[in-house]
Structure 1
């Protein structure tokens, strides 16, 4: 899956299929585009747990981390 990664405050990052990041939670805005990349379930991905990331995107539309630790549950 092609995803877009956005940087929030500090070490917070948001990952989404939306190239504009419009569905990322306002709690950590403003979001700045960081990079895009392909994420494949079970395949190592720099800075992301691919399974957690894809599960969150399927369920919530986005995946949020702080210092590479999943915090999606804090914003849904």
Structure 2
């Protein structure tokens, strides 16, 4: 998978979630409420501000979402 339509949500503070689910229903409940920020085509080869595209796509393929806090990946800590 090299390109995917993703939806970016903001949780509390500097927590962000990225998912292919446009409702964000699969994002971890401990950071709710999630507020939708934007939708964008994410490409492995093209950077998105604050997101490592490769890590993000890998996390979505494996877990269904990608979570960061202050631009640092914390996906493994919330599973």
- TM interval, short-chain normalised: over 0.9
2:8: which partner in 1? 5
TM-score relative to the length of structure 1: 0.97
* RMSD of aligned alpha carbons: 0.6
Identify unmatched segments of 5+ residues in structure 2: none
Post-superposition Cα deviations, 1:14-55, rounded to whole Å, max 9, x if no partner, equal 000000000000011110111111110121111100000000
Matched residue count: 76
The answer for unaligned runs of 5 or more in structure 1 is none
- The answer to whether structure 1 residue 44 and structure 2 residue 47 are counterparts is yes
Which secondary structure state, in structure 2, belongs to the residue aligned with residue 58 of structure 1? helix
Distance in 2 separating the partners of 1:36 and 1:23: 16
**Stretches of 4+ aligned residues off by more than 2 angstroms:** none
